[in-house]
Structures are given as C-alpha cells and as structure tokens.
A and B are shown apart, each in its own frame.
Chain A
Amino acid sequence: MIKQKINSTWLPTILLILGLSTIAFPLYMTIVIAFKQPSEMSNTISGILSLPKHWSFDNFREAMEVTDFWRSLGYSLLITLVTVVLSILVHSMIGYVLGRNKNHNKFYGFVYLFIVSGMFVPFAILMMPLAKETAELGLANWFGVILLYVVFYMPMNIMLYSGYLVNIPLALEEAAKVDGASTWRTYWQVIFPLMKPMHATVAVITALAVWNDVMTPLVIMAGSGVNTLPLAQMNFQSQFGTNYNLAFASYLLSLIPILVFYVICQKQIINGVVNGAVK
C-alpha cells in the first residue's frame, strides 16, 4: 500500500514538472522582453533569449504612465468584481431553478435551452445593435458593460450550476422543507453554501473572461473617456509600430491581480463542503 502511494504521487509530479516547461518558457520570454529596450530586440535566438543589459523598471514606469494605470486598473477591478458578485448571486439562483425543474417541466426546459443557446450567438452580430441599444437606454458606460457581462456569461454559468446540482441530493432540500423553510430560504441556507466550489469556479472563469475582454468595453464605452486595462493596452499597438517592451511590461502588471484572485479562489474550489455534506 505505501509503495503504491509513493508511485501515485511521484508520477503525476514528474509529469507536471515536465509540462511546466511549456509555461516557463513563454513566461521567461515575457519577463525578459518586458525589461529590455527596443534597441536590444533582434531576430536571432541568442539575441531574444539573452538577459537584458540593465535591469530597470523604466519600462514598467512608462507603461503605467501610458495606460494611466491606476485609473484603468480601478475601472477594470470595478467592472470585474461587480460582474463576478452579480454572476454568483444571479446565475446560481437561476441555475438552481432551471437545473431542478428543466427535466420535468416543459416551460423551464424551454427557458434553459433558450438561455443556453444564447451562448452561441456570435458577438459580432450583437455588437452594432447593442451599441445602439445601450446608447438609447443611457447605458453606454461601465454600468452598461457590467449588465451586458451578466447577460453574456449567464448561459455558461447556468450550465455549470445546473451541472453541479446533479450531484447534490434532493434529500437535503426536502429535509429543509419538512422543517417548514420556504423555497427561498432553503435555497440560500442549504443549497447556496453547498455550491461553494462552483461559486469559486464561476468566479474564476467569469473574472478571467471579463478581465481580458476588449470588445465589449470598446463597443459600449468608446469615446466615454473611461478605459479598462485591456482597452488602455491597445495604445501600445498600431499598424506601423508596436512597442513590445512597454506592452509586455504592461501585460505583466495586469496579470498580477487576476493571478492573485485565482489563487484565492482555487482554494475554495478544492476545499468545498460538498465532500463532507453529500455523504
């Protein structure tokens, strides 16, 4: 038994370490380029992989200036956090309702398919109409962007939540019902906490999608003077010249918050209460 345990942890570890090289190399390149000057760029192997001549944070400082970093970061954080919170509250709720009813009630079955199929609408066809509609409704601002995100990620999150529900026994709800709790209370007191690992998953997936998204804010907020980080980062590129060094520095900076968020969330994915509760 003991021997087997050792084998079963060493094999995955070795494979994981090998796999890591596919991530370490791009990361190394990103960091090295972020510290170099444009004049240190070249097309030769040794030229691109060599360490920068001087380690200085000038690129980072300049990148922060170009993107108006703190302000853009503020808006990115605002939009991402509000979207994530709303997603967890709203999507888990509707995911629960649809997940529990879709198989034996035609109406909910239809609503489920209706919303989930919304996931497959190519964004390009929505862009123009949405730009027009949000402007008409006075929502051509960051709040409109959040509303749109809540709608865009609803189909995927509903799928995730209702998929997760399959493994939560009905008996738990019925027990609460016998105690006289309303459906609303049963949901928030029994089901919602049980779905914690899925909340964390949804939080990570939604946050990541929102954090990196350029299109929606571009279409909805263009010209409003408000930038998110990815929007501001578009300033590094133009057709006739891209300052990769500044851009890479900037991307490294914007990577940190979402990585921290992920590390916090992933603990929740694993330490879910389900394992104990479902037994």
Chain B
Amino acid sequence: MKGKRLARLLFTGCMLVFAISLQGCGSKKDNSVTEIEIVQYKREASNYFKMVEKAFNDTHDDIHLVINSPNDASAILRTRFIREDYPDIVGIGGDIEYSYYVDAQILADISGYKGLQDIKQSYRDIDESLELVPVEGTFAIPYMANAAGILYNKDLFEQNGWKIPNNWNELLTLCKQIKDKGILPFYFGFKDTWTCLAPWNAIAVGLTEPDTVKKVNRGETTFTKEYAEVSKKYLSLLEYGPGSPFAYGYNDACTAFARGEAAMYPIGSYAVPQILSVNPDLNIDSFVMPASDNSDGNTLNSGIDLQFCVTEACENKEAAYEVLDFLFEDENIQAYADAQNAIPCKEGNFKLASMLDGMKEYIDAGRMADFQDHYYPSEMSVDALLQTFLIEKDVDNFLETFDNNWQRYNRDIIRMVKEYEQNNKE
C-alpha cells in the first residue's frame, strides 16, 4: 500500500505543477504590431541595448522591438538557425563568422538601405573584403569599431617622464627604461589564449598587408614568409612581461594593471571597463603599437566590433530599417561610444573616450587596418597556436605549423577561392 500511496502522491504533484505552469501561457501579441527581434553578441553592452529597446518602444506604436544580448551568442544563433527560427536583425562582429553567414546566404542584401551612405567608406570596405569570395550586394552595416594597441598607466608615465614610443626600437628602449626603474613594463594574461591574439594583431597590422590572408588563399604567398618578422618581434616582448605569463588569465592581468603592477598592457580598448571596475581612479591612455622600424610606418589596428545584418528571413524589411535608423541616430551612437569606449563607424563629429586620445590622430587620418584574426577560422585555434609558440619560442616550427594548419582548416574555402579565380579569368 505504501508504494501506491507514494506513487499517487508523486503523480498528483506532477499534474499540479503542469496545471500551474500551463496557466502562464496564453498571452498573445496584437497582430497590427510588427515585432522586430535583434540578437546581438556584445553581452557587455546589454545595458545600452536595454535602454535603446525601451526608448524605441516608447516612441513607436507600430513596431515592437526586442533586443537580446546573450552570452555565447554564436552558439545561440547557430541553434536558432538550424531550427529556422531567425531573428530579424543580428548584431555580430566583422570577422569570419560574418563571412560564413554571407556565404550561407542567411543575410539579406541591404544595399537599398539609405543609412549606408553615412558610414565611413573604410569600414564598408572591410565588410567587402571579409566576403570569402566577392558577392554582389551589401550584407551588413557597420556600427562600432574597436582599436587595439597598448594601454598604459598615464600617471606612471608622467611621474617618470617616459615618452610614447614611435617605432620598434623606441618601444624596446622604453621597456628597458621601465624595467630599470624596477617596474614591470608589460602585463600579459596568456592563460586565456585569446589574449595572445591582441599583441599579435597589433604587431601584424603594421608589418603585413591587410590582404595577406587572401593572398595565401590564392596561393601567392605563405605565412612563413609574411609572419616571420611579426613572430620574432612578438617573442622579444616576452622578456618584459611577468615571469610566468601563462599562469595569469585576462582577469588577473586586468586586475594587476589596474593595481599599478605594470606600466603597460597590450590589449584592446574593450578591456578598459573591466580595469576601471577594479580601480576607478586609474588614469588610462593608449598608443598605437609601434611595430614598424620607421616612425611613420605604423598603422592602427582597428576593425568592426559590432555591425547589424538583416536576415533573409525577416518579413518586414521596412520595419527593420526603421529600427536601424533609430540605432544609428547620432545621440544613440554617442551613448554607445561613451559606454563602451568604442569608435563609431558613422561619419560625424563624435566625441571619443579619453583613453583613445593616443590613437585619435590615426583614426582621423584613417591610418587603420583590420585585425588579421578576423580572417582566421576559429576552429584552427590560432590563439592556442600562438600560446604554444610563446611557450616553446620556436619561430620556424610555429610558422610551419601555421601554414600546414591553414591549408588543412581552410581546404574548402581555398577551393572556393580558386574556382572563383578560374571562372573570373575566363
């Protein structure tokens, strides 16, 4: 008898829970209102997007805007794509993920959208070149760019009278000076492999052509040739970092830099909020990685951090454009730039965050080039290859592995590129 009673109890409990939960469903939305859903991947900007969502819905009766800012957005987007549950607009970075989406024909051609006219040409060009093979049409509207170089502790620099370096030799001299004072020149958080890419990108951008990757895919050159100098220079920075850089993660590095344990931290502007959360009074500025041997040969590493794409599945493109119009209003762009220390991709006189002062000259002059890693397929794990390289310090072996892996992981893309070349020659 005991068993039956127990079983019945469990059944009843089960039914009860069902009944309660079913009541929750049932509120349906009004049909006259178009719903536009954005999924954007910058989790750290979720507060900004919440504000935008509210402001938009307060002023629009015919469109209801929903903005989701999930963590791990790329996994979420993939599972939603496979379910054919497409958001209307996706906010993604200008990297290979975008290239794949264009290739998969998930994104709609928005060349008819008039807001595109206001976007700086250099960023629109980046989007063009991200396409695996040139495709007719425009599939994204760049929103914000980021910049990576070297963050430095302004107070430390002023106290000691250190000068901002303009070329590679000056950088090494500066590092020696700092080290002589008993201060650690750089902090690295190489335990988190992705941070290995930040200095790499910043050095590579000054020493290689922006289309290096495309050239390799076309079989015109190899990474062994293109990345030799980059690798050697990167390696020579290691001795100015902490003794065991692979023990510390990104978070450790941010905390250490915030506490004044190092004078410089080679990372992107995105790290500033995390650093300031530990030490709000820290005076941070940045400068361009002086990778070149010539003082006027440097280039700022800047790419598209966030762009919006309308999906092919979006039923009401006009409504989507209206949402985009709102997002691209100067006032909202300024608010985003302030909150995230980002660089607007739109033409106009926007005020940049103070920690970008050291880069302003490059931004205004347009002396910028995209991150190399935006062209690397993530499954190749170049970040992990770099970490291995920095541990083993074997340049030749690293470059050979890089080239071999590249051919292996990009086999289908290289074939596509070759086919395209063939067809367009004829």
Contact = CB atoms under 8 A, between A and B. Distances in A.
Contact of A240 (B10, B39, B44, B87): B44
Contacts of B37: 223
A80 to B, nearest CB: 10
Interface string A125-144: 00110011011000010100
A193 B6 contact: yes
Nearest to A243: B277
A235 B271 contact: no
Contact of A223 (B43, B44, B85): B85
B79 A131 contact: yes
B79 A41 contact: no
B10 A128 contact: no
B194 A89 contact: no
Contacts of B3: 188-193
B270 interface: yes
Contacts of B274: 240-242
B147 to A, nearest CB: 14
A135 B2 CA distance: 40
> Interface size class for chain A?
35 or more
B222 to A, nearest CB: 31
B82 A132 contact: yes
The B contact surface, by secondary structure, is helix
B82 A128 contact: yes
B4 A41 contact: no
B332 to A, nearest CB: 21
B85 A85 contact: no
B13 interface: yes
B72 A234 contact: yes
A192 B6 contact: yes
B259 interface: yes
Nearest to A131: B79
Nearest to A241: B274
Given A42-B259, A135-B84, A218 B76 contact: yes
A197 to B, nearest CB: 13
A42 B255 contact: yes
Contact of B270 (A38, A134, A140, A240): A240
Contact of B76 (A86, A190, A193, A222): A222
Contact of A43 (B71, B76, B252): B252
Contacts of B280: 39
Given A242-B251, A243-B277, A218 B21 contact: no
Nearest to A142: B21
Contact of B278 (A38, A81, A131): A38
B83 A135 contact: yes
> Interface size class for chain B?
35 or more
A190 B279 CA distance: 65
B365 interface: no
Interface string B1-34: 1111011001101100110010000000000000
Q: Please indicate which of the listed interface residues A41, A131, A238, A244 has the most CB atoms of chain B within 10 Å of its own CB.
A: A238
A88 interface: yes
Interface in A206-257: 218-219, 222-223, 234-235, 237-244
A223 B82 contact: no
B277 A89 contact: no
A78 interface: yes
Given A132-B83, A135-B83, A219-B79, A241 B273 contact: yes
Interface of A: 38-39, 41-43, 78, 81-82, 85-86, 88-89, 127-128, 131-132, 134-135, 140, 142, 188-193, 218-219, 222-223, 234-235, 237-244
Interface of B: 1-4, 6-7, 10-11, 13-14, 17-18, 21, 37, 39, 42-44, 46, 68, 70-72, 75-76, 78-80, 82-85, 87, 194, 251-252, 254-256, 259, 261, 270-271, 273-274, 277-280
12 contacts: A41-B278, A78-B17, A82-B18, A128-B78, A135-B83, A189-B3, A192-B7, A193-B2, A222-B70, A223-B37, A223-B87, A242-B251
Given A82-B18, A222-B70, 7 more contacts: A85-B10, A88-B10, A132-B83, A140-B85, A188-B7, A238-B43, A240-B271
List of 9 A-B pairs having minimum Cβ-Cβ separation, nearest first: A238-B43, A241-B274, A135-B83, A193-B3, A192-B3, A38-B277, A234-B71, A240-B270, A131-B79
